[in-house]
Structure 1
Amino acid sequence: MIIDTLKNAERYYTLHSGFKTAFEYLNSTNLAALENGVIELGDGIRVIVSNDPGRTREAAAKIFECHNQNIDIQVCIHGLETMGWKPRADCQQVEVPYNPEKDYMFYNDEPDTYFSLKNGQYVIFFPEDVHAPMIGEGLIKKLVVKVPVYSIL
């Protein structure tokens, strides 16, 4: 897991062949003006835009998720979003087995750590990062960039 601000995104270009495409899009787009939906960037990289009410920790823990096929770059655009995190290796209670068509698996474990993102900050979740997003109050506008794992350098 990596937490940083968009102004430092260039530091991570070499970690994955798709990160440069993702971060150049994020840094050249008026993110606040984007409408809810999905934007295809090519090479399997897609951006999911949402503007939804925050959840309680309890509600977010019900979707304590991880992915096998995609890396998530989750960017806070507006609001304050808290997320829970735990290493996948430490999770023991599978709630929903892995679904390869939807690329998710849910655990019934509790997060070890909580952290918050504010406008312009992001987190990168790799397949080994189980996460509970969208904890907060009021509307949270965010982007989730799905970057396929298969193209890792």
Structure 2
Amino acid sequence: MIIDSLQNAAKYYSLHPNFQKAFDYVNQNDINSLEAGTFEITEGLKMIVIIGGGSTREESIKGFECHDKNIDIQISIKGPETFAWKPREKCVHPNGDYSDERDVRFFHDAPDMFFELQEKQFAILYPEDVHAAMIGEGLLKKIVFKVKI
């Protein structure tokens, strides 16, 4: 997992060919005016804009998840937004089977930690990062880039 501010995004371009494309999209568009929805940016790079009310920690960790085929870049547009996190290697209580169609695996495990993203901060979450998001109060707005591995 990586946590940083958008102003430092260029440091991570070399980690995956589509990271630069994702951050270029953010820099070249008015992210505050983006409407909720799912958008294909390029092959192997999808953007999901989420706008919704924040939830409690207890409610959010019901969706404690990780992915096998995608890296998430989650960017806070309107926050703050709190995340739950735990390394996948320490998760031992699966919540159902892996969904290949949705590329998601859920767990009943308790998080090891919580962290908060302020506006214009991001987290890069790899397949080994089990996470739950949208923890907060009031209206939250974020971008989730799905980067195909």
TM bin, normalised by shorter chain, reads: over 0.9
Instruction: Note the residue ranges of structure 2 that are not aligned, 5 or more in a row.
Output: none
Counterpart for residue 10 of structure 1: 10
1:1-150 pair list within 5 angstroms:
1-149=1-149
CA apart distance, 1:68: 0.4
Cα distance in 2 between the residues matched to 1:7 and 1:17: 19
Bigger shift: residues 57-66 or 37-46: 37-46
> Contact 2:40 / 2:47 at 8 angstroms: preserved in 1?
yes
Q: Is the Cα contact below 8 Å between 2:18 and 2:44 reproduced in 1?
A: no
SS at match of 1:102: coil
Secondary structure of 1:20's counterpart equals: helix
Structure 1 segments, 4+ long, off by >2 Å, are none
CA distance in 2, matches of 1:96, 1:32: 36
Unaligned runs of 5+ in 1: none
Which whole-Å CA distance do the structure 2 matches of 1:15 and 1:44 have between them?
15
Alpha-carbon deviations, 1:108-140, whole Å to 9, x = none?
A: 001101000011000000000000101001110
User: Which residue identity lines up with residue 53 of structure 1 in the other structure?
Assistant: G
Shift of 1:44: 2.0
**Cα-Cα RMSD:** 0.6
Percent pairwise identity: 50
- Contact in 1 for aligned 2:64/2:132 (Cα 8 Å): yes
